[in-house]
Amino acid sequence: MSVVTTITDDARQPVAVLSSVLQALDASGMIGTELRILVALCGLDSTSVKGLGEHVGVSASVASRDVERLVNRGLADRREDPADRRRCIVSISDAGRDWLAGVEDRICELIRRGSGRG
């Protein structure tokens, strides 16, 4: 095997791993902004939909739509703010944390396999 072939094959590995990760995420039915919102919620105690949208760089309407999808899947919780009934507070659910942990495990597995250590 030539050095050029080895370098080319090594350069393709990260692309193959990334492709596998994206396929796994796609198979989960999770779209990009939903995933970003769920990851952001994992790092936040709780927040308003508007604050969440600002945090991930999407409009309040996009955040609201994606939070609704996450709530419907049981991955996030939404409740009325007791201090301001016009405002909703959003947080990640236990199922959402479990889902993200599963995704993280799957990504680590794909990386180990792609690096030849799995």
CATH of the domain at 30: 1.10.10.10
Q: Give the count of domains, the chain.
A: 1
d(CA 41, CA 52): 8
pLDDT per position as a tens digit, 29-81: 777 889 899 999 999 888 999 999 999 999 999 999 999 999 999 999 999 98
How far is the CA of 64 from the CAs of 54, 84, 87, 90, in angstroms? 12, 17, 11, 10
Give the three-class secondary structure for 28. coil
pLDDT per position as a tens digit, 5-25: 443 445 456 677 777 777 777
d(CA 43, CA 57): 15
Count other C-beta atoms under 10 Å from residue 85's C-beta: 8
pTM beyond 0.95: the answer is no
Range of the domain at 109: 3-114
